Structure 1
Amino acid sequence: MLLLCVVRPLAGWCAQWGMAAGIRERAVIALFGIRGIGSLFYLAYALGTHGFGVPAEELWPWWRSWC
């Protein structure tokens, strides 16, 4: 748990040192990683192009607290 919850995000945060990204962008990239960001992108793309019968508000309720 320590590796996943502390070490990995901290390493991701440090790897972005000197980037022009803001604090929110750096935090999301550090927490989710590049594969996690890709998964969120493909989920958003699928929701935008095809209807799955599930409202986006049910799939993305946690996202509103980050925005």
Structure 2
Amino acid sequence: DCVYVDSCRADQPHYICTIQNFRITKRDTLVVNVKWYYRPSEVPYNVYQYLVQDRHTETSKCL
């Protein structure tokens, strides 16, 4: 399932993640594993450029 997580700060938008699984530890603590999704504005410029370049490379291979 996808989840919207509210930020503690009013000036920050909510976060988005996918729940991977739940588990209980030996001390009866709930642990939730999630996959976080990032907005393009949150990714460093050089990483974003690398990802976009990789996507264009993969797309051209499919043609």
Pairwise TM-score range, normalised by the shorter structure: 0.3 to 0.5
Question: Which structure carries more strand by proportion?
Answer: 2
Query: Relative contact order (C-alpha < 8 Å, sep 6+): which is higher?
Result: 1
Normalised to the residue count of structure 1, the TM-score between the two structures is 0.31
Question: Which structure carries more helix by proportion?
Answer: 1
